[in-house]
Amino acid sequence: SQQGEEDPQALSIQEGENATMNCSYKTSINNLQWYRQNSGRGLVHLILIRSNEREKHSGRLRVTLDTSKKSSSLLITASRAADTASYFCATEPAGANSKLTFGKGITLSVRP
């Protein structure tokens, strides 16, 4: 079963614009992570936010977490064509020790 649900399912933007992706989940968590996947290959970790944190930044990435609403958002600023990929949110349920639950993913297309 997939706990996380991302929206939108697909997003198409122009290079230089910002991309915002949202994720909702159902149970208590230790942390929430975002991963990126290019063309059906392995996933690459982007950023992790712990349950007691509200916002984190890493380069052009900004992630927020609202545990009361069980939701998160990922903002990619000044997007580039190379950001074209699928993005997944993943939650580590409380007590689940690295056993991540992934959503179905968001397909981001950045037009040059």
Partner 1 sequence: ETGVTQSPTHLIKTRGQQVTLRCSSQSGHNTVSWYQQALGQGPQFIFQYYREEENGRGNFPPRFSGLQFPNYSSELNVNALELDDSALYLCASSPSRVTGANVLTFGAGSRLTVL
Interface pick for partner 1 out of 15, 26, 48, 75 (rule CB under 8 A): 48
Contact flag: residue 4 with partner 1 (CB under 8 A) = yes
- CB nearer partner 1, residue 41 or residue 112: 41
CB of 41 to partner 1, least distance (A): 5
Among residues 65, 73, 63, 62, the alpha carbon closest in space to that of 23 is found at 73
Q: How many CB atoms lie within 10 A of CB 13?
A: 17
Among residues 106, 45, 93, 101, the alpha carbon closest in space to that of 67 is found at 93
Contact flag: residue 39 with partner 1 (CB under 8 A) = no
Among residues 1, 65, 57, 61, the alpha carbon closest in space to that of 32 is found at 65
Cβ–Cβ under 8 Å, residues 81 and 15: yes
Cβ–Cβ under 8 Å, residues 7 and 71: no
- CB nearer partner 1, residue 15 or residue 37: 37
Interface pick for partner 1 out of 11, 65, 100, 110 (rule CB under 8 A): 100
Q: Residue 104 corresponds to which tokens in the numbers above?
A: 């179905």
CB of 34 to partner 1, least distance (A): 11
Contact flag: residue 92 with partner 1 (CB under 8 A) = yes
Binding site for partner 1 (CB under 8 A): 1-2, 4, 30-31, 33, 35, 40-45, 48, 50-51, 88, 92, 96-105
